[in-house]
Chains A and B, each alone.
Chain A
Amino acid sequence: MVRFTHLHVSSAFSAHYGTGRPEVLVAAAKAAGAEAAAITDRDGVYGAVRHIRACISENLAPIVGVNLPLRASRTTEQGPLEITALAHGSHQGAAAGAGWAALVRLISAAHSPRRRGRRALHGSAHRSASTDPKAASVFLSGEEGPVATVLLGPRSDVGDALVSGDRTRAEALLNQWKKHLPGGVVVEVVCWNTKPGTTASLGHAAQLLQLARATGTPAVLTNAVRYVEPDDAVTGDVLDAAAHLLPLGEFQPQPNAQAWLKPPEAMHELAYRIAEYAGLGRYAAIELLSTTEHLAEQCRIDPDTDLGWRQPKIPELEILGVDQDPARVLAQRCEAALSDRYPLSTAHQLGTIRDRMEEELTTISGFGFASYFLAVAETVDLIRDRGVRVQARGSGAGSLVNYLLRVSNVDPLEHDLLFERFLGNKRSTLPDIDIDIESARRHEIYQAIFDRYGHHRVTLLSMQNTYRARGAARDAGLALGLSEEQINQVAEHIWRFNARDFRSVLHSKPELRQIAELVATEPQLDQLVDLTERLDRLPRHISMHPCGVILGDSSLLSVTPTQPSGIGLPMSQFDKDDIDDMGLLKLDILGVRMQSSMAYAVEEITRVNGPAAAAEGGLPAEVPYISADGRVDLDALPHDDEPTFEMIRTTHTLGCFQIESPGQRELIGKLQPDRYADLIADISLFRPGPMKGNMVTPFVNRKHGYERIEYLHRQFAPFLQDSYGVVIYHEHVLRILHETMGVSLAEADEIRRRMEHDVDTIEGEFRSHTAARTDEYGQRIFTDVQIDRIWETLRGFGSFGFCKAHGAAFALPTYQSAWLKTHYPVEFFAGLLEHDPGMYQRRFIMAEARRIGIPVLPVDINASGEHYRVERISAEEKGIRMPLRHIKGITEAELTRILAGQPYESITAFYHQAAPSRALMRRLAGIGAFDALAEHGRRSGTRGSIMTYAQQLTAPSRCRNTPAEDPQQPVLFSEAELMDTTVSDPTVEERITTELDTLSTEVTGHVLTPYQPMLEHLGVTPAEELLTLRTNTEVLVAGIRVATQTPPMRSGERTVFISLDDGTGCADTTFFTDAQERTGPLLFGTRLMLIKGHTRRTGHRGISIQAEQAWDLKQLWQEWHRSLTVPAA
């Protein structure tokens, strides 16, 4: 069997270029008998860790390189000129990791912004990274020769000179490269069988080989691979179109489909053909092939020695300020925090707490993770010191140590959370401690972390955005040259399916009915479906991960290449799946808008109410969690505030964290929580697993006394209290296994993890261990019948359960936001509008504010600022003032000028001082921002006259008939007198339309207001009246769509939930298969809808509508109008 190692291979991680995933390419190389496999992605090592992982599992030697554009080179029709660099491995005498570090630094340098700004070009075909011989010399030269090899191929400057017929220049360029990197340059011969005379043709390959021989330069053969099989060339064409942002046919396409991972035989044959064409004998071909294999040997990376594969690289102790044993320092910090966290505990209780703490500390230091915990604590301290809200999320909340370090604010003892669920005995990689902070201050915190640990120890994490169905259809449409309208028509109806399944769902999804018909008649759309499927899950572009920060030691920048992130901080080329293998520590610091909203609300409470804050919130004056100056400490709230639970039980929970979705409101309606543990259960139950496993019904029935509470076994009663005996949490399973099998909690967690994969393998073990358990009298603790029942429960639990620590951590902001909504609704809604945290659009949150009686104050040129602000209207009433920031088209500069000039005395003064654009001036007038200015004096300007006046002011000068042009000119007439009061005011409908257009929300009324006559005529039921109806009443509801969801259902059938807002509340409707069929394309594409269906009571406070049919309200309105104007026959 002949052997050939492909040294130049682009994977799909060469975004918009490669089509093969590293795992597939490696498997193909293995199948072809290779002993090593290379990855040389464009501009980075984005796919390298996956490649190495695949190589390890296929037992191949990994080779890693990069393909980089050449700086200041000419750009050909195929893009910029480029080189490929391959890192050397350490086993050939080079220092361990030197090749990798060199490659990494070369890449980072290639991405560092140039000093002279370059023209920003659109499309990924314009690659922003670049390198040159000098950079190669600087980064790739080691102390004892080069630590990487540069491949100069057909698309290099040397290859380009040859194809242009300038052999002298080619030789000069090659010599220059060799001078910069002696011994580190090879000629890369590629033959793609392109048209003779062009790049990568047989002749071009022969010229490269001849040049190498003439100059005594080693030459290697590659196929500059960009796909696994020639079939993928079609996908390549579409990716090229996406990279150019041009349809196929409007740019130079790839030459043909030859750039695939050809088998060794084909590559050997190519070598012979090239040598023959070059007029060189067989020996030249053999030499070419053996040099290729020799270089492959030299570039084999050893993951352990070269990369420190899976070896932790965390900040050095001195950086953490730790000068002794980190385990001891951690223990001291926890001990010191005990009295602070548990001030009211008795000595006995403290003893129990201390035991738990010591157990946790023993496990932590046993793994050597103490410094990791200290680093996390240090980071959280740094966040808190800056006055930013911070809260741990996930299983980390199960750790008492985290609670003592103030990493988490959830007391694991209060909620019976288990450390073992977070960190068991068998963990080898660092556990994740996820932290939520205020989203608005996330970048500030990242910057602070960089400053704290040093810029050479920190980078942001990146993420690969991959093609989903909608984006794939859009790019496929672009490639085919479809019109924007045609593309939209398809894309709008694509709703959550995998791109690769497009054709198979065409006929099963009612919303795709029209598309299916078009596909049958229009070949281009038929192609679009195929192309969309081909793009499925291919990486599109890299971006900053929403929460990941990588913390390393001082070698970090030799481990990961970095590139600009868009926020001025460097971003690693690795994503979350690469981190563990690279031994890097990832901090998950997620910006959570709800945290920003709550922080904002707290600020507003203090600012507006001051010392009267407690009274304003309907609370006793001396509550410990509100300071004398009116500052609320949300983390110190007691968890049993009845008014808060009362509000939650109404299901009017819009705006509250985690419990505002239609499905959640329905669950809340059934569950009727009256204690904190119920909130944890609610959040844990509202997941696909428990919903499918129907854990909700027994929970609700037992809670409300419809069903007797049973605990499976009397020994389980203490820990199943929190869920009325229903097994919901991982923690429950751990405790059950601990009680029954007599294993430790850590072992129980391992068994639980095994159960998730294959529950039946546990059964024998479970039964024998449990049956063997006896009490002090030698009697069996568990009878066979009990064992059967317990096993059935565990078996049914499967993978449905949820980590209670997750739920408890989520429940905290849920409770805090509900508390704010209950006690400080105006301030809370100001926070919601300011930071837009939830699933609903801002306009719906505003509608909800109005619904609960909060005055929304219109934009006012003097009263409005940059932010949503609480404004006192009277001693009793507060409202929310709309900001200037969200006016359509307002620029930063205009906003700054307007704010600087406030207050304004007249419209004219505003126009001259703030110098707004003409359009902005008219928009301000249209939404009533000048109404207050025109109010004083005898004659108040009306909205109509103000709008006319603003038009006159901003009209081109020759038409201007206002004397107010020069601000220096004495004012003879007051503005009000200049206004034409005969101009009629806009109607309510017109105002609402203007508001929606200018502010994306209505202020004056509701978007449905204009339709009222028709709705009354049709007998439409307002949302607020639905609860008064009996179940199974036929109803019509109308409104603006505020939510569309397709959650997983027990039946497995797709169910579509559509929620409509009509200004009186939210009507939640359910579309089952038949109704989806009848609704067809309206299902996902229509905003204003009328829905007919039957009511369905879903609990004490819940009602939803089982939809039968839906109409487009706008269309209906036109038809209704027409019917009114047509006289009855």
Chain B
Amino acid sequence: MTAETSACQDQDLATVWTDPQGVPEHLFWCGRRFVVMAQPIAWQDHAIWWETPARVARGTGRALVERPMWQVTARALDNGQILIFDLAVTAGHQWPVTGIYD
């Protein structure tokens, strides 16, 4: 992570609000509020399924291998800083942040 995050306690998680289609609209990260600027990009990451104890029977493959992600470009409401976040889609609002770029 390249952004200034030194003051942040829990930089691996963000609180994310989405539109009804599940596309992120704004987020709360390290005590700061961000608004998504451009159209976020949906992408799929590779999940580390072999480190989980789950069966890998036929028919369960896709859910095991893929991890849906969004890459969003967002502007901080406090100082206008623009950051790019990789967010792992998760049930609820607490989403893991897997990458931040400025």
Contact = CB atoms under 8 A, between A and B. Distances in A.
Interface stretch (A193-201, A308-316, A909-917, A1069-1077): A193-201
Interface in A188-214: 192-196, 201-203
A58 interface: no
A281 B24 CA distance: 25
B50 A195 contact: no
B64 to A, nearest CB: 6
B44 A231 contact: no
Interface residues of B, number: 27
A530 B57 contact: yes
A534 B46 CA distance: 19
A481 to B, nearest CB: 8
B65 A526 contact: no
Size band of the A side of the interface?
35 or more
A533 B53 CA distance: 18
A1087 B43 CA distance: 55
B86 A195 contact: yes
Contacts of A530: 55-58
A256 interface: yes
Contacts of B10: none
A237 interface: yes
A202 B41 contact: yes
A195 B58 contact: no
A254 B59 CA distance: 19
A481 B58 CA distance: 21
A920 interface: no
Nearest to B53: A523
A234 B57 CA distance: 9
B73 to A, nearest CB: 10
A765 to B, nearest CB: 45
B46 to A, nearest CB: 5
B51 interface: yes
Nearest to A201: B43
A255 interface: yes
Contacts of B71: 195-196
A601 B94 CA distance: 80
Given A249-B50, A256-B66, A231 B43 contact: no
Given A527-B55, A527-B56, A234 B61 contact: yes
B44 A234 contact: no
B47 to A, nearest CB: 9
Nearest to A260: B62
Contacts of B60: 231, 234
A257 B58 CA distance: 14
A479 interface: yes
A230 interface: yes
Contacts of A257: 44, 46, 61-62, 65-66
B66 A202 contact: no
A256 B54 CA distance: 18
B66 A233 contact: yes
A231 B55 CA distance: 13
B87 interface: no
A231 B66 contact: no
A253 B48 CA distance: 10
A194 B62 contact: no
A774 to B, nearest CB: 62
B50 A230 contact: no
A978 to B, nearest CB: 62
A527 B43 contact: no
Given A195-B43, A195-B71, A480 B50 contact: yes
Interface in B51-102: 51, 53-62, 64-67, 69, 71, 86
A652 to B, nearest CB: 51
Interface string A234-268: 11010000000000110001111110000000000
B50 A479 contact: yes
A231 B51 contact: no
Contacts of B86: 195
A650 to B, nearest CB: 54
A230 B50 CA distance: 17
Contacts of A232: 61
A553 B49 CA distance: 52
A1040 interface: no
Contacts of B42: 193
Interface centre among B48, B55, B86 (most CB of A within 10 A): B55
B56 A230 contact: no
Given A256-B43, A527-B56, 6 more contacts: A195-B69, A230-B65, A231-B59, A237-B50, A481-B50, A534-B58
Interface of B: 41-46, 48-51, 53-62, 64-67, 69, 71, 86
30 contacts: A195-B43, A195-B71, A196-B43, A203-B41, A229-B61, A230-B62, A230-B66, A231-B60, A231-B61, A233-B66, A234-B56, A237-B49, A237-B50, A249-B48, A249-B50, A249-B51, A255-B46, A256-B43, A256-B44, A257-B46, A257-B62, A257-B66, A258-B44, A523-B53, A523-B54, A527-B54, A527-B55, A530-B55, A530-B58, A534-B56
